[in-house]
Amino acid sequence: MAGTRVVAGTIMVTNAQGESFFLVEKHGDSISFLNKETESGGKLPMGIIMKHLLEFVEIEADSLRLIDLANLKAEENNVSLFVFDVVERPDNPDTLLSDSDDVVWRRSKELTTLLDAYDFGIVPMYK
């Protein structure tokens, strides 16, 4: 469909012990950023992905801060990746998840293989 593109996103949460985790979608043994198709003339990409991410976590929208926006290139497609941070610091990030077996938190070091699948102009670094 003309005018359709994909926007991707993740949420970074840092627990009370200072460990950072990212919200990703499981596909068997692999993971991906959560993504959603957009259509031209509709809502803005940031609003679309933010609404999609909030379907999988029990977090208020005003608890999210946009900390990074990167342009990814994968399979000849350009994808905007929005990275949000959560203001709260839970003891266990799993308490923030809604009921979904396919969406999980992963440590930043576990994202290496996921990030290898994309061509970044600039690679954001999160610890």
Question: Comparing 71 with 57, which gets the higher pLDDT?
Answer: 57
Q: Give me the pLDDT at residue 52, please.
A: 94
* Cα–Cα distance measured from residue 119 to residue 127, given in angstroms and rounded to the nearest whole number: 20
* pTM, rounded to two decimals: 0.83
Q: Which residues contact 120 (CB under 8 A, 6 or more apart)?
A: 70, 71, 72, 73
Neighbours of 39 (CB within 10 A): 12
Q: Give me the pLDDT at residue 127, please.
A: 46
Q: With beta carbons less than 8 A apart as the criterion, state whether 103 and 32 touch.
A: no
Determine the straight-line distance between the first and last CA of the chain, rounded to whole angstroms: 38
Q: Which residue intervals of the chain are DSSP H helices?
A: 45-54, 112-116
Question: Comparing 75 with 3, which gets the higher pLDDT?
Answer: 75
Categorize the per-residue pLDDT at 1 as very low, low, confident or very high, splitting at 50, 70 and 90.
very low
pLDDT, average across residues 39-48: 82
Could you report the per-residue pLDDT of 60-115, keeping only the tens digit for each? Answer: 999 999 999 988 776 667 888 999 999 999 999 999 999 788 999 999 888 776 66
